Amino acid sequence: MNNKIEEVINHVQKSSKVSDENKPLILDKLEEWKSEDKVINDVAVRFENWWMEMEPIFAELGWI
């Protein structure tokens, strides 16, 4: 996972689409995530919980 985070850090640093004032904020958060493997797991768990709540709604609409 650290390799993927490092790739994102490099991309953000080189990106012209990310404003100069937002870059330090994004890079700080990425560095924090890089040092905390647990954070990535938290994101996956939150997405899984969101999906469990939304799946019945999507099914009712016929989207899945």
Q: Which residues of the chain have pLDDT under 70?
A: 1, 37-40
C-alpha 51, offset from chain centre: 15
pLDDT of residue 10: 92
Q: Is the pTM of this model over 0.75?
A: no
d(CA 31, CA 22) in angstroms, rounded, equals: 14
pLDDT given at position 46:
83
Predicted local distance difference test score (pLDDT) of residue 13: 93
Q: What is the reported pLDDT for 23?
A: 92
Distances from the Cα of 43 to the Cα of 15, 18, 38, 46, angstroms: 24, 22, 9, 5
pLDDT for 27 equals 92
* Helices within 1-64 (DSSP H only): 2-14, 23-35, 37-61
> Can you give the pLDDT at residue 36?
72
Contacts of 34 (CB under 8 A, 6+ apart): 2, 5, 6, 9
